[in-house]
């Protein structure tokens, strides 16, 4: 019983699945049927009828017949065949032959897609044809007045074209003939060919317009302007040569004569309305003439420059020669009294070599001026280079002279500074003498002696047979340091001694009352008389502070700078 139930369930499931598949087949048949009906109802015939507005002959008629035949085949053959296929698909579905039904439907869909592509292709070709007709018609409407304008311009300005007028007229006539050919193609229904011809006509007409527009100026330049410029150039070259300008090496006259011949060739071409080679050649000649004039002007300016600045440069070099020679004598004299550093001697030697080199360059320039072969442009460049080098030489010489001046000034400054420090050291001795202290400690005498020795060393260096400013400066630095130390040490000594004396005197008021203080003050007095002023100040201050705290601070406030 269970097996029967299972079999029944399987049959039911299979039946339901078959119904579902068949329903899908039916739905696909309906979709394709609607697609087929949509194609059948297309207004293809109406669209194709638009071509009847054109001349239905020639190429246009052939295309129309082809499209109509193709559409008739679709309606009478391809679509009915698809209808039978849809019936076959339904029949296969009814018999549960789903695989065959799907294969038939796939073929039908591919056929419908192919039909759609054919229709789309017909519409695209139709649009192209109609657009070709419309575009060519619009272009022709533009071309005709342009042709008339060209004819009118050529007629009114024929004097500007001379012999070339005939050739331009012929070009315009040929364009007019092509336009006539266009109308013939339209009458024959060959719209694609007519449209292509119109596009070519537009390009040709534009070229003719440009040629006619640029011809008068080009012809005038070739026949009149450039020949006049070349004649003027040749005349100018000859005049400059007679005036002594060095321009033969440029060979401009031969080049200009060659251009005259080329212009005659270009003129013959232009009279035949052949413009391309002439146009490029004339532009090349115009640019070259500008270059030649620029070079000639440069040569004229260079000659003026050379004539003006060469004598000045000769004079300047002679002046600096004398100055360097004078400086050399000064160096020789200085070497007897000063130690001149090796690098300074080498610098002066390099200045002499520099002058010799510039003199040689100037001699070469003089030879170039005399042989009349070298251009003034070249000589000017040589002079400018020489001028730059001479300016550098002058600058280096001035710096060297300044170094010599500094050497002498250093001696004067050293002597002046030495004299000043001697006065300062003498003032220290005087201050010690006027101070009324019992005596001067040994360390102060040593400091003063060191300062005096340093000053003597400076004096020996300054008075040396060959003054070496490096050694002078070194000795001067030691002397300044030692003298300043002597001054400071002396100031500190006198301040300490005066303070010690003040504290002892202030403490004397307590001697009778405080025996211990009296003893301490006696010891301080003994140290004071032994030149131990710092010891005296320390002992007296300590003893006084025990009796009268704060007394030292009050004494310091009252102390005046020692007399001296």
CA torsion through residues 542, 543, 548, 554, sign:
negative
| Domain boundary residue, one of 268, 297, 326 | 297
Q: What's the pLDDT score for residue 358?
A: 80
- Tell me the C-alpha distance between 394 and 141, whole Å: 82
pLDDT in tens, the chain (564 residues): 666 566 555 555 544 545 555 666 666 666 767 776 666 666 655 555 555 555 445 555 566 566 666 666 666 666 676 666 666 666 666 666 667 767 766 777 777 677 777 767 666 666 666 666 666 666 666 777 788 877 888 777 778 878 877 887 887 788 777 777 767 766 666 666 766 777 778 888 888 888 888 888 888 888 898 899 888 988 888 888 888 788 777 888 888 889 888 989 888 888 888 888 888 988 998 999 899 888 888 888 888 888 888 888 888 878 877 777 776 776 665 555 555 555 665 666 677 788 888 888 888 878 887 777 788 888 888 888 888 888 887 887 777 777 766 656 556 666 777 678 778 878 778 888 888 888 888 888 888 888 888 777 767 766 665 556 667 677 778 878 888 888 888 888 888 888 888 888 888 888 888 888 788 888 888 888 888 888 888 888 888 888 888 777 888 777 654 433
CB 142 within 8 A of CB 209: no
Same domain as 446, residue 380:
no
DSSP 530: T
Q: Is 549 exposed, middle or buried (0-12, 13-18, 19+ CB in 10 A)?
A: exposed
In terms of residue numbers, what domain contains 390? 298-403
Same domain as 307, residue 378:
yes
Segment holding 486, helix H or strand E: helix 469-507
CB 492 within 8 A of CB 548: no
Same domain as 341, residue 228:
no
Same domain as 343, residue 277:
no
Q: What's the pLDDT score for residue 563?
A: 39
Q: What's the pLDDT score for residue 464?
A: 61
Q: What's the pLDDT score for residue 17?
A: 47
Same domain as 357, residue 275:
no
Q: Is 5 left (phi over 0), alpha (psi -120 to 50) or beta?
A: alpha
Q: Which residues contact 272 (CB under 8 A, 6 or more apart)?
A: 163, 164, 167
DSSP 74: I
CB 327 within 8 A of CB 348: yes
- Angle, helices 376-434/469-507, rounded to nearest 10 degrees: 30
Residues present in the chain in total: 564
- Tell me the C-alpha distance between 215 and 220, whole Å: 8
Say whether 237 sits in a helix, a strand or coil: helix
Total tally of structural domains belonging to the chain: 4
Same domain as 280, residue 372:
no
Looking at the domain assignment, is residue 412 inside a domain?
no
Same domain as 306, residue 277:
no
Per-residue CA distances from 168 to 157, 265, 284 (Å): 12, 19, 25
| Domain boundary residue, one of 246, 274, 297 | 297
- Tell me the C-alpha distance between 39 and 21, whole Å: 27
Q: What's the pLDDT score for residue 319?
A: 83
Say what the pTM is.
0.49
Looking at the domain assignment, is residue 418 inside a domain?
no
Q: What's the pLDDT score for residue 160?
A: 82
**Number of other CB atoms surrounding residue 528 within 10 Å:** 21
Task: Give exposure, 84-99, as e/b (b: 16+ Cβ within 10 Å).
Answer: ebbebbbebbeeebbe
Same domain as 267, residue 134:
no
- Tell me the C-alpha distance between 288 and 226, whole Å: 11
Same domain as 11, residue 43:
yes
Same domain as 397, residue 372:
yes
User: Which CATH number is 304's domain given?
Assistant: 1.20.1440
Same domain as 289, residue 316:
no
Q: What's the pLDDT score for residue 8?
A: 55
Same domain as 513, residue 449:
yes
Looking at the domain assignment, is residue 179 inside a domain?
no
Question: Of 563, 453, 450, 448, whose CA–CA distance to 501 is shortest?
Answer: 563
């Amino acid at each position: 019983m269970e097996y029967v139930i299972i079999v029944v369930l399987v049959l039911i499931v299979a039946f339901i699945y078959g119904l579902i598949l068949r329903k899908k087949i039916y739905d696909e048949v309906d979709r394709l049927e609607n697609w087929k009906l949509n194609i059948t109802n297309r207004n293809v015939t109406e669209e194709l009828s638009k071509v009847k507005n054109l001349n239905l002959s020639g190429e246009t008629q052939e295309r129309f017949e082809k499209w109509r035949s193709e559409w008739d085949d679709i309606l009478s053959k391809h679509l009915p065949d698809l209808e039978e296929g849809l019936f076959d698909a339904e029949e296969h579905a009814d018999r549960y032959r789903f695989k065959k039904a799907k294969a038939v439907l796939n073929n039908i869909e591919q056929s419908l897609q192919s039909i759609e592509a054919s229709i789309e292709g017909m519409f695209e070709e139709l649009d192209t044809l109609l657009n070709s007709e419309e575009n060519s018609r619009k272009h022709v409407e533009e071309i005709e007045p342009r042709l008339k304008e060209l004819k009118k311009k050529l007629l009114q300005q024929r004097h500007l074209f001379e012999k070339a007028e005939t050739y331009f007229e012929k070009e315009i006539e040929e364009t007019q003939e092509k336009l006539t050919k266009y109308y013939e193609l339209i009458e024959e229904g060959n719209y694609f060919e007519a449209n292509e011809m119109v596009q070519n006509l537009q390009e040709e007409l534009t070229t003719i317009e440009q040629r006619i527009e640029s011809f008068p100026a080009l012809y005038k330049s070739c026949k009149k302007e450039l020949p006049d410029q070349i004649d003027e150039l040749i005349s100018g070259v000859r005049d400059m040569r007679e005036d002594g300008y060095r321009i033969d090496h440029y060979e401009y006259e031969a080049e200009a004569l060659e251009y005259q011949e080329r212009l005659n060739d270009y003129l013959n071409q232009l009279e035949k309305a052949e413009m391309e080679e002439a146009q490029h050649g004339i532009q090349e000649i115009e640019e070259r003439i500008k270059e030649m004039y620029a070079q000639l002007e440069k040569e004229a300016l260079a000659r003026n420059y050379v004539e003006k600045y060469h004598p000045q440069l000769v004079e300047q070099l002679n002046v600096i020669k004398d100055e360097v020679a004078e400086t050399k004598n000064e160096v020789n004299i200085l070497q007897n009294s000063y130690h001149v550093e090796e690098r300074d001697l080498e610098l002066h030697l390099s200045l002499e070599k520099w002058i010799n080199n510039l003199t040689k360059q100037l001699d070469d320039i003089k030879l170039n001026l005399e042989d009349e072969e070298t251009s003034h442009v070249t000589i000017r460049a040589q002079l400018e280079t020489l001028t730059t080098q001479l300016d550098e030489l002058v600058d280096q010489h001035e710096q060297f002279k300044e170094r010599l001046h500094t050497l002498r000034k250093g001696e004067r400054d050293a002597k002046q500074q030495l004299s000043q420090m001697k006065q300062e050291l003498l003032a220290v001795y005087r201050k010690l003498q006027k101070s009324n202290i019992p005596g001067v400690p040994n360390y102060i005498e040593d400091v003063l002696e060191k300062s005096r020795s340093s000053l003597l060393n400076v004096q020996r260096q300054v008075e040396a047979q060959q003054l070496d400013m490096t050694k002078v400066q070194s000795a001067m630095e030691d002397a300044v340091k030692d003298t300043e130390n002597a001054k400071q040490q002396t100031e500190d000594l006198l301040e300490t001694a005066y303070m010690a004396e003040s504290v002892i005197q202030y403490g004397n008021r307590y001697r009778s009352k405080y025996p211990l203080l009296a003893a301490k003050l006696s010891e301080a007095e003994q140290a004071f008389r032994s030149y131990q002023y710092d010891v005296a100040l320390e002992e007296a201050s300590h003893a006084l502070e025990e009796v009268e705290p704060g007394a030292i601070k009050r004494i310091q406030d009252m102390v005046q700078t020692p007399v001296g």
